[in-house]
Structure 1
């Protein structure tokens, strides 16, 4: 789980350097590179502000993500958004936990981070 979060934080840093105006769909390798850059950034998902920053850094990546990674990124962003709410719905979070975990595994598998 920590590796996935590191990958997500790294993608944010790449996003800042590369901009977010890519008009076409990225390849899986390009999406992975962007996700890894977000994961390498200084964002922490330990607190609500960190979850909001991480979700906001992932949104532009999701917009141009490869078809294989668009759904996992969307699941992660949805989970982070719900978690960062002032009063998160614990039942909804519980329901989203499986998709969030699967999304992290899918990113790790696609991006080679599961080693």
Structure 2
């Protein structure tokens, strides 16, 4: 059984719960960007964007590097693997439950069809 770090999942899902941070991840998926570029793209202050980037860094989804006066951000390549595995585990559980429900519904339809024929 795969073990998941509760703290890691909590940090990741908390980071992903914000639309701006999801947008930052999407933007960085197209290539690295400075804090200034991200702030301009999302029409927010540098301080606000720095806070968003800090949350993403704490979750292990983004890394940044300061060269001179410019802080450049990029995605972490393995950023959501553990989270995706956790989601997949639950997706599989629900898929099995829906398959079982489909079988019950099909069985009930067949019984109903058989009872209609007897009347």
**TM-score in terms of structure 1 length:** 0.35
Higher relative CO (Cα under 8 Å, sequence separation at least 6) belongs to 1
TM-score of the superposition, structure 2-length normalised?
0.34
Report the structure number with the largest CA radius of gyration: 2
Structure with bigger helix share is 1
